[in-house]
Amino acid sequence: MKTNTRQTWFTLIEVIVALTVFSLIMVSVMTIFYLASQMSTRVELNRHMQENVKNALDIISEDIRTWNIDWVREFAWLTCQTNDWESSHVLCISRSLNNIEIWLWEKISDTSSNIINGSHYCSDIVRQCHILKRENGWEWYPLTNSMSHITRLDFTFWNPGHPKIMINLGIRPALMQGMASNLLESQEIAIQTTLSERFIQQN
């Protein structure tokens, strides 16, 4: 007896259509995964920057509460008693023996740094600028860490009777390996806050 066995095969067109559909599905899945990863990174960077700048402002607030606002000045290498301005880049806080100074500095390497005189220096995306606290003229402490970059820091002083300081600063993630530059620029946050001696001392 003769049996008729019929074998079926995929045609070339069917294979191409299947590969096309599979490719579209994979592209969609990878796109969703990439967007979800980017969103998670943005949220984490935003949370970290907000915590970082909050800690820095808390330290400045504590110093103002403990001591007093002195003035602001233009250049980081001048003493707090000279070059008094209404609005500038360096905050001076009066203390009994030595003043406390808050200003910008650029970390060049692990062993060297650069004093910043004006926020325009920190607009360059490749720089690493941080808020620095200096005591006794030589003891210095970074108030922001290496994961954050301060793009600008300005202080405005007014009302000498009840001194107030308005702080304007910009912060974005620091440039790290594997991080896209457009992500850094889109994550910049502008912060404005006002500290008053009288207001802080009542809390």
| Tens of pLDDT, residues 22-36 | 999 999 999 998 888
pLDDT score at 8: 64
Task: Dump pLDDT digits (tens) for 73-97.
Answer: 887 677 776 667 788 888 988 877 7
List own/partner pairs for 41-44 with CB under 8 A and 24 or more apart: 41/183, 42/183, 42/186, 42/187
- Ramachandran class of 189: left when φ > 0, alpha when ψ lies in -120 to 50, beta otherwise: beta
The pLDDT of 155-170, averaged and rounded, is 85
Dist CA 42 CA 187 (whole Å): 7
Identity of residue 55: N
Tokens linked to 191: 């912060």
> Which residues lie closer than 8 Å to 154 by C-beta, 6 or more apart?
87, 88, 89, 119, 167, 168, 169
pLDDT at 141 over 80: yes
pLDDT band at 7 (very low <50, low <70, confident <90, very high): low
pLDDT at 70 over 50: yes
> Which residues lie closer than 8 Å to 115 by C-beta, 6 or more apart?
76, 77, 103, 104, 105, 106
The pLDDT of 67-73, averaged and rounded, is 85
Q: Which residues of 65-74 are buried (b: 16+ CB within 10 A; e: fewer)?
A: eeeebbbbbe
pLDDT score at 79: 72
pLDDT score at 166: 92
pLDDT band at 202 (very low <50, low <70, confident <90, very high): very low
pLDDT at 21 over 80: yes
Region of poorest pLDDT, from 148-152, 164-168, 185-189: 185-189
pLDDT score at 38: 77
